[in-house]
Chain A
Amino acid sequence: MKFRSAAAIAFRSFRRNRRRGRFNSRPLLGALAGVALSLIPLVVVINISEGMIEGIVDRFLETDSYHLQIFSYTDKSEGDFRREKEAVLSLEGVNHAWLERQGAGMAYSEEGKTGVAVRAVERTIREEDGGFRRYIQVKEGAFDLSDDRSVVLGEAIAAKLQVHPGDQIKLLTGKVFPGGRYIPRVTPLTVTGIVSSGYQEMDRLWVFITYEAGDRILSPETSRTVLGIKAQDPYGDLRDLINRIGAVSEGPNWRAYTWEALNRSDLNSYQTTRSMLMVIMAMLVLVAVINVSSSLIMLIVENRQSIGILKCLGTSPAGIRRIYRLTGLFVGIGGALIGCGTGVLISRYVNGLVAFVNGTGRLVQRLLAPLTGGAAREFSLMNAAHYLQEIPVDIQWDRVVAVGLGAALLSWITSAVPAARAGRIRPLDVIRKF
């Protein structure tokens, strides 16, 4: 039997018989739907996890860890750091270099208090650094660090302290003296802006002050100065740049680290979580594909007489096997097309879908409020505190296609057993008179 004839017979199982008012084989459509449904979450996870990891990494790179950080293992003055900065800025492939002093403190207002990560940065960082500007969005006021008494707060901190631009907060830092004596230091600061990085973990921690203020109020024992570097291609090979930095650095004890080295544990954690999710989702696909095999067995039992007739008419066992291998393949291809297509669509519009579900949930919550006495917390599909405020989507076409092809191929492979069984049906057993 030619491929075309076998394919035509195989394809017939999926057609809707208008006169009979139903599909020729419902179990097959069920199997096809199973493959499609199992692929949807896998495709969505592929597209969203990559986007989320990239989104989070990109934010970290641009707002937190920089592309490279240079530390000193010995006491260096601000002047040393400034000279190092100038030397680095002269290198090809470097866009920016920023001095930052990092420490910890306690911010408090009349309404509340919270522990904070103090980031003493150069005044023009947001103005000049496009990457920083892209992710640090001003929610109220301005990112204005023109005065040493200015402070810019993360959105969650401002909410906790219940302050707005123009309000005063106090920043409690400390100085450790020889002998371990700790003297607290309170610095009144004026809120000039409230910002969001789009990632609530960051918004809950960061307060920005000027580098000069940080140098003054952050004790060297409890803080450190770093030189943050923004390269032209942060995802490229940064080792060459590190080597060139080493060549222009003044004196020993300077050490440069890439963003990957600085965030290694977080990156590993993301990758492991994603891999685990993939494995779980792939198991779902595997179960669905095995279901193709059982549906084919049902189809073969249902079509036993037709198989016998085809053999009487001259179809060889190989021809029968080919028909059912193709049927399995068609289930896989159909399921892959529908599943991958739907998965890509859901990925593409996932933020709208989440907003829709949240909106609907809140509407239902409001409608039921008279009966429930009002819910304590507003309905939300995902706790925004642990996620990016908007899910970044990065459609991974190569992986989506690979997953679809894999599902179709697995369907074809698992159809081998039922197809062999169909090939062994003896026509005589079917046409024998009752």
Chain B
Amino acid sequence: MNDMEGSALIQLRDIRKAYPSGNGELEVLRDISLSVNEGELVAITGESGCGKSTLLNLIGGLDRPSEGEVLSCGFPVSRLSEKALTDYRNKSLGFVFQFHFLLKDFNALENVVMPALIGGEKKSRALDRGAELLDRVGLGERKDHFPSQLSGGERQRVALARALINDPRLIMADEPTGNLDEKNSRLVEEILFELTREFNKTLLLVTHDPVLAGKGSRRLHLTQGGVQEL
């Protein structure tokens, strides 16, 4: 299964992604090749519409490239079956989106443990770990609260705890502070970097925020022409 080079956790080879548009197609990514090593905290910046989120979606197996190959966490993501993709997303990835995307009918703790339960984890063990993670993001007292009873920053912290519950190798955060005020942004950033470092995770962070981008160990700038190392 593992056809990665060296210690690279992610490898993109000649990725091209285009969407049908009218009679032709709209090309979003072209000739993208890059490699991310395990443990790196990579910030991806770029203008709106340059394909940052599309790139994350391809790596996350939420979309497939038009051309090229995506290798991640030892999986040929672009060639995986639907079933294998769901396992990959469940076991190897942790998503944090711009919008928290918590399940509205479940409380904070239930939201956090959901990936573990989906993956077949024993409920009691998942709940213990979920409560521990909520403590770590400062929401130990709010575990019974529903998303509608939490502030934007708190919801993002719950989403961060959820991303970590299955101990994935890769955390993918797509503008995680894009919807938050300054104070909450800094708090979420702080927790995000602290936990990914502590748990030795690889972070792929898409952001417009130069301050946030500067906190990573590596910074990539995406343009229509390709990826530029900063």
Cβ contacts under 8 Å, B200 to chain A? none
Chain A contact surface mostly: helix
Say whether A1 contacts B62, CB under 8 Å: no
Q: What is the distance, in angstroms, from B123's C-beta to the closest C-beta of chain A? A: 8
Inter-subunit contact A316/B83 (CB<8 Å): yes
Query: Of B29-37, B88-96, B212-220, which binds chain A?
Result: B88-96
A contact residues, range:
20 to 34
Contact A314 B86 (CB under 8 A): yes
Tell me the bound Cα distance from A309 to B86 in angstroms: 12
Instruction: Check B114 for interface membership: any CB of A closer than 8 A.
Output: yes
Q: With contacts defined as CB atoms under 8 Å apart, how many contacts are there between chain A and chain B in the complex?
A: 78
Q: Is the CB of B101 within 8 A of A311?
A: no
Asked if B148 contacts A314 (CB within 8 A), the reply is no
Binary B-proximity of A299-316 (CB < 8 A = 1, otherwise 0): 000000110111111111
With A310-B118, A314-B119, A433-B98 known as contacts, the answer to whether A20 contacts B148 (CB < 8 A) is yes
Nearest-neighbour CB distance to chain B for A180, whole angstroms, equals: 88
Query: Are A428 and B62 in touch, CB under 8 angstroms?
Result: yes
Within 8 A of A (CB), among B145-183: 146, 148-149, 162, 166
Contact mask B116-136 → A, CB, 8 Å, 1/0? 011110010000000000000
Contact between A431 and B62, CB atoms less than 8 A apart: yes
Q: Does A317 contact B82, Cβ atoms closer than 8 Å?
A: yes
Q: How far is the CB of B113 from chain A (nearest CB, A)?
A: 10
Contact A428 B63 (CB under 8 A): yes
Taking the complex as formed, is B76 at the interface, i.e. its CB lies under 8 A from any CB of chain A?
no
Given contacts A311-B86, A312-B95, A314-B86, contact A5 B117 (CB under 8 A): yes
Choose among B83, B91, B95, B105 the residue that contacts A17 (Cβ–Cβ < 8 A).
Answer: B105
- A5-23 contacts to B, CB under 8 A, are 5, 8, 12-13, 15, 17, 19-20
- Least distance between B79 CB and chain A CB atoms (Å): 17
Taking CB atoms, residues of chain A closer than 8 Å to B118 are 1, 5, 310, 313-315, 319
Q: Which among A5, A20, A314 has the greatest number of chain B C-beta atoms within 10 A?
A: A314
- A317 cross-chain contacts in B, Cβ below 8 A: 82, 86
Report chain B residues within 8 Å CB of A308. 101
Set B60, B63, B99, B146: member contacting A19, Cβ < 8 A: B146
Across the interface, name the chain B residue whose C-beta is closest to A427. B62
Identify 11 residue pairs between A and B in the complex whose beta-carbon atoms are under 8 Å apart, listed by A's number. A1-B120, A19-B148, A24-B105, A309-B103, A313-B89, A315-B90, A317-B86, A319-B86, A428-B57, A428-B62, A433-B99
Using CB atoms and an 8 Å cutoff, list the residues of chain A in contact with chain B. 1-2, 4-5, 8, 12-13, 15, 17, 19-20, 24, 305-306, 308-319, 427-428, 431, 433
Please report B residues at the A interface, Cβ cutoff 8 Å. Answer: 53, 57, 60, 62-63, 82-83, 86-87, 89-91, 95, 97-99, 101-106, 114-115, 117-120, 123, 146, 148-149, 162, 166
